[in-house]
Amino acid sequence: MKSSISIKLDANGNAIRQSSNPEYGYIILAQERITIKTNGWVDKKTFTTLIRGKIEDLQNSGLTEMKYLPGNIIVIEQTEPFDNFDPNKALKVAGDTGIILCTEDGEPIYRKTIYDGSGIMHDILIPHANGDEIKAANAKKAPKKVKTPKKAKKVVTPPAVEMEEAEEVIEDAEEIIDFDDVIIEEDIDTDDITFEL
């Protein structure tokens, strides 16, 4: 299921963004998709792509007047670089692991998105074969959760006193108090408390 394509505005509400060359710019298109993965899980993602051109041409295109655009944002994957001058551009990387997704033959997968105004094109996807490497990398990064025991003991200590006073207090206390009573135990319910390391 795909939603309509919309234009992502910048922080100032502008549809056209200027590139490093002031004569040229781009518009970011976005489309939400809900898919069912091969493992049976529903997945919702936002796909984006760029429409590039001279600022003047983008302004005159009429795109910025449209609330929604027809068509789809299409994903294209291949094993050949999209840019022969920069073969590292558009490599498909697994999240923030830095691991490049590869085929069974070890070929890197390249990925890009394009705008298809006709709505008849379909994604071209290549399955990756280095899932174990990605799982191992994610396992190393996963935070360890430590759960406290159900009943933790809160220890209340007596206030600090001068050394001489302390000796007197201890002598007096030895006669009157059993030292097991100095530590006050209070039950604390910690079922919902977790700590991340």
pLDDT (0 to 100) of residue 152: 47
Query: Does residue 162 sit in helix, strand or coil?
Result: coil
- Positive or negative, the CA dihedral 185, 191, 193, 197 is positive
Ranges of residues in the chain with a pLDDT under 50 are: 152-157, 161, 163, 166, 169-197
**pTM higher than 0.75 for the full model?**
no
pLDDT (0 to 100) of residue 132: 87
Report the alpha-carbon distance of residue 21 to residue 17 in Å, rounded.
11
List, in order, residues 6 or more apart from 165 with CB less than 8 Å away. none
Half-sphere exposure of 59 (CA within 13 A, CB side): 8
The amino acid present at 19, given as its one-letter code, is S
pLDDT tens track for 128-158: 998 888 888 888 876 655 555 555 444 444 5
Q: Which residues pair with 45 in a beta bridge?
A: 33
Domains in the chain: boundaries: 1-69, 75-142, 145-196
pLDDT (0 to 100) of residue 146: 52
